[in-house]
Amino acid sequence: MPLFATSTPLTADQLAAALKAQEQLRWAGEAAYFRTLHDWLPEPFFHTESFFLFFAAVAAVYWAMPQRWVAGRVWLLVVASFHFYAAWNASLAFLVTATASLDYVLARGIEAAPRRRVKQALTAASVLSNLGLLAYFKYRGFFLGELHDLLTTLGGDPAFRKLSPLDILVPFGISFYTFEAISYAVDVYKGKTRAERSLPHFLLFILFFPHLVAGPIVRAGDFLRQTHRVKRWNWVRVQVGVQFFLLGLFKKLAIADRMAVYSDPILSNPEAASSGAIWLAVLAYSLRIYADFSGYSDMAIGLAHLLGYRLVPNFNLPYLAANVGEFWRRWHISLSTWLRDYVFIPLGGSRGSGLATDRNLMVTMLLGGLWHGATWSYVVWGGLHGVLLVGHRHFRAFAAARPGFNALLETKVGTALRVGLTFFAVSLAWVFFRPDFQSALVILERMFQFDLPGNPLPLNARGLWYTAVVVLVCHVLAASGLWARLWSRLPAGAVGYGYALVLIAALLLAPEQGQTFIYFTF
């Protein structure tokens, strides 16, 4: 499904019809080759049969190549990645490839430039070209819309119209690969990473299809090294890949898509829902976001392993975080470390005064919010997390000065309470993690009136509670290390049987109408 950034309201039916018509028109204009490609692989999602066939074909050819053909394998993956993207939108696949090639050339220039000023100019060119791309595709509608409103409010004539969703096609994964390209240019400038000599190796860094559309955000220093290594078939690695993929598939199909059945009808029409239903829908939404994005990341990591690559872990049981700072060390780790390294620390990090640190945290989180989506609700979501981080920083100082209180917080009961409170705060903030700001306000208003009548959940809440308990138990088992110990002692047959059960359960529990990945919109 194409994704659009806008602030112009359209009814769901109007938008769906217009999108369909636009898609048909767009594909009619594409070359026959890409039209056929689109028919074969209509969606860039990992949990579809067509992707499974695509991946099986790529992996078969990849491993059939002699292992000495490192460049051949890299080319194969570049071509496969290009086709993976082009099946969704051929023109944008060319655009992404072209901008990546530009980044490659600029980085070579940064490294080769004799003078610091030239290096700075080339780095700025690379960063600005990527930010420009991001701004044009993702934020143009938002900022022009806001400017239009402002000028109208001031009584002026904007002399331009607001953009409709149909005017703006946001390329899948643009926020991810632009951040990867920016970090690469900055790292080359700082001398942390050497500029890649080989274009196909660099293209693979940007285009590698497992991480192309929704991360994890990889760093050049980590990934490019891997592209030059000889890849040998390794059963342990295959097992790790399969395990990650199955875990991700289960999270996506059995948890995220099922939770969407509870949350979406309520949160998309909160005016008609009862307070109780909204509370439960917010719980379902919290579970859904986690399972959806961490499931996608797990699948991406698993697929990369199956091709001999290691991607950075993106999640580490985030809902067991005892405070919001810890939450951000466990949630979307590749983004939070990116923001830390390329926004928070360059702003001064925590080296300055307390006030400066608070400011840096707020700026970083506001930008992080805006990164997720071009609407005010994502900015507010980022701001809320900024406030929570600042609040926690001060609370931590307060507690540190009181050893008795601090010790109490560190007890098992204290930790459980902190985990619960953090989950509660994060879940409330998720209310803004949707494009519609006004709906988010209505949701909060109705939640805290507690007993408003209205539509109940579309399904019996029992399934939601079971899912919440299963997620909690799995978190606790994983955090205690019990799961890993048990798993490592099982005989091979039992492990394989377990994998099959996970896959069967995922297929059985998946709702008929699958959902897109939430993070594909970012």
Partner 1 sequence: MRRHAARSICAFIATLLAANLALVVALERAPPRWHDPEYGKRLGLLRERQRDQPGRPFVVALGSSRVAIGLHPASLPADSTCGPVLFNMALVGSGPVMELICFRRLLADGVRPDAVLIEYWPAFLHEVGIYHEAARFDLHRLRACDERAVREYFPDADRRLRDWHVARALPLRTHRQNAWNQLVPGGLPRAARIDGLWSRIDPWGRLADRDSVGDAERLTLKDVHADYYRGLFAGYEASEVADRALRQLLRECADAGIPAALLMMPDSPAFAEWMPPEAVRRAADHERQLRADLPLPVIDARDWIAAAHLPDRVHLLTPGAAEFTRRLHGELPRVFPQFAGPSGGAP
Q: Which is nearer to partner 1, 415 or 460 (CB)?
A: 460
* Cβ(45)–Cβ(56) below 8 Å: no
Nearer to partner 1, 238 or 417 (CB): 238
Structure tokens belonging to residue 281: 């829908």
Dist CA 64 CA 59 (whole Å): 8
Query: Does residue 299 belong to the site contacting partner 1 (CB under 8 A)?
Result: no
Compute how many other C-beta atoms are within 10 angstroms of the C-beta atom of residue 448. 12
**Residue listed under structure tokens 């010790």:** 407
- Name the segment binding partner 1 (CB under 8 A); options: 38-46, 67-75, 453-461, 475-483: 453-461
Q: Is 12 in the site for partner 1 (CB under 8 A)?
A: no
Rounded distance between C-alpha atoms, residue 247 and residue 262, angstroms: 22
Q: Cα(289)–Cα(430) distance, rounded to whole angstroms? A: 9
Q: Is 508 in the site for partner 1 (CB under 8 A)?
A: yes
Residue 493 contacts partner 1 per CB under 8 A: yes
- Of 103-111, 159-167, 183-191, 237-245, the window that binds partner 1 (rule: CB under 8 A) is 237-245
- Considering only 269, 460, 480, 484, the residue that binds partner 1 (CB under 8 A) is 460
Establish if 13 lies at the interface with partner 1 (CB under 8 A). no
The residue range among 19-27, 126-134, 203-211, 508-516 that interacts with partner 1, by the rule CB under 8 A, is 508-516
Region binding partner 1 by CB under 8 A among candidate stretches 155-163, 173-181, 422-430, 506-514:
506-514
99 - beta bridge partners?
none
- Told to check if 511 binds partner 1 by CB under 8 A, we report yes
CB 447 within 8 A of CB 275: yes
Among 192, 458, 474, 516, binds partner 1 (CB under 8 A): 458
- Closest to 142 measured CA to CA, from 365, 431, 364, 370: 370
Name the minimum Å distance from CB 230 to partner 1: 18
Contact call for residue 67 and partner 1 (CB under 8 A): no
For residues 417 and 502, which CB has a smaller minimum distance to partner 1 in the complex? 502
413 interacts with partner 1 by CB under 8 A = no
Residue 91 touches partner 1, criterion: CB under 8 A: no
Look at residues 201, 228, 205 and name the one whose alpha carbon lies nearest to residue 75: 201
Q: Which is nearer to partner 1, 349 or 454 (CB)?
A: 454
Inter-residue long-range contacts of 267-274, CB under 8 Å, 24+ positions, other chains counted: 267/434, 267/439, 267/443, 268/439, 269/455, 270/439, 270/442, 270/443, 270/446, 271/442, 271/446, 271/454, 272/454, 272/455, 273/446, 273/454, 273/455, 274/452, 274/453, 274/454, 274/455, 274/456
Helix (H), strand (E) at residue 302: helix 275-306
Residue 284 C-alpha from the chain's centroid? 18
Q: Which residues are catalytic?
A: 372
Between 212 and 457, CB nearer to partner 1: 457
Which among 38-46, 149-157, 412-420, 455-463 is the span making contact with partner 1, rule CB under 8 A?
A: 455-463
The residue (of 421 and 459) whose beta carbon lies closer to partner 1 is 459
- Distance, CA of 155 to CA of 402 (rounded, Å): 56
Q: Does residue 325 interact with partner 1 by CB under 8 A?
A: no
Closer CB to partner 1, residue 416 or residue 504? 504
Of 27, 75, 342, 499, the residue at the interface with partner 1 (CB under 8 A) is: 499
- Interface with partner 1: number of residues (CB under 8 A): 28
User: Which DSSP state fits 136?
Assistant: I
DSSP character at residue 232: -
Toward partner 1, which CB reaches closer, 120 or 234?
234
Kindly state the smallest distance separating residue 495's Cβ from partner 1, in Å: 4
Residue 221 near residue 193 (C-beta atoms within 8 A):
yes
236 sits near partner 1 (criterion: CB under 8 A) = yes
CB-based contact 338:179 (threshold 8 Å): yes
Among 168, 203, 261, 322, binds partner 1 (CB under 8 A): 261
Q: Which residues would be at the binding site for partner 1 (CB under 8 A)?
A: 234-236, 238-239, 242, 261, 265, 458-460, 463, 492-497, 499-500, 503-504, 507-508, 510-513
